[in-house]
Structure 1
Amino acid sequence: MAKLHPSVREEVTQIIAQCDKALTGKAKIRITQGLRNNAEQDAMYAQGRTAPGKKITNAKGGQSIHNYGFAVDICLIIEGKTASWDTKKDWDNDKIADWYECVKIFALYGWEWGGNWKTFKDMPHFEKGNFNSWRKLSKLKKDKNGYIILS
């Protein structure tokens, strides 16, 4: 959280609080990934290509919104101990899948959900901004801490 772009940190904190309040049962939302550097992104890109495992991203270093601090991946923590990416489970028994309760809350704040993408659905992924792509972000100037300057 502390490494996300400063313009979204407080908003993500509010989203987490709203999600946890909505999930009145056994589940709580947790951020599993936020800002990634290019080397971390390249390692993820290699998975399923030149490294063992299933493909998990189509973005190389510098090509992910994560690389600019405007994206998070989430999971649900069940009963304080088990991580879950089950998008259908309704732990609070309110007839709405807990995952989708969180999707709706992120949407209220203008975050795009990777589960809505037409190709390569990324269910844990949420990103903020009207950047249209990493290409626009990569051209913006950065401050002394390495964050892009929004003006």
Structure 2
Amino acid sequence: MDKVNRQRISKLHPSIREEIVKIISECNANLKGRAQVRIAQGLRTIEEQNNLYAIGRTKPGRKVTNAKGGQSIHNHGLAVDIVLIIDGKTASWDTARDWDNDGVADWYECVKIFAKYGWDWGGSWKTFKDLPHFEKKGYTWRKLSTMRKDKNNYVIL
């Protein structure tokens, strides 16, 4: 596990940290070296979420999210966006590439592993597909926003 992943995992909800380490480790083992999983985004502040929401609305660019601040599972540390790092240096969001030549696109190898651990993939959403996004099943932002929080501001699950 590289330093960047460790730092980003340390900010996720405590209840999923060990699991996400297992998931990423399993993805990387299945990808056989050339491509490795990096968490591009984990916990996101309300301000960061609002800034993303503004893109394509009040800021230039194409819309990247339909979730305002507080309406994303990222705001509760229960979601990650991933990217594949190729040969230790190049970021790739190519969902079709089979870097390890095993007949299965590397991205979809990871999708299957996340699903095995009970995570929803944004690429399976009916509208506004979010291919890099994975979130822990069983939580909605509405439910999470009503739950009590601990001293570190994480919802008590």
Cα deviation for residue 53 of structure 1 reads 1.1
Cα deviation for residue 25 of structure 1 reads 4.1
1:27-46, aligned counterparts within 5 Å? 27-46=35-54
Cα deviation for residue 52 of structure 1 reads 1.1
Compute the RMSD of aligned alpha carbons. 0.6
Cα deviation for residue 54 of structure 1 reads 1.0
CA distance in 2, matches of 1:70, 1:126: 9
Q: Which has the higher helix share?
A: 2
Q: Scaled by the length of structure 2, what TM-score is found?
A: 0.94
1:3 partnered with 2:45: no
Moved over 6 A (4+): none
CA distance in 1, matches of 2:11, 2:36: 21
**Count of paired positions:** 149
1:22 counterpart residue number: 30
Aligned residue among 36, 49, 57 for 2:57: 49
Aligned residue among 101, 108, 111 for 1:100: 108
1:74-85, aligned counterparts within 5 Å? 74-85=82-93
1:114 counterpart residue number: 122
CA distance in 2, matches of 1:25, 1:101: 13
Q: Scaled by the length of structure 1, what TM-score is found?
A: 0.97
Contact 1:70 1:129 survives alignment (8 Å): no
Aligned residue among 123, 129, 148 for 1:141: 148
CA distance in 1, matches of 2:89, 2:67: 31
Q: Which runs of 5+ in 2 are unaligned?
A: 1-8
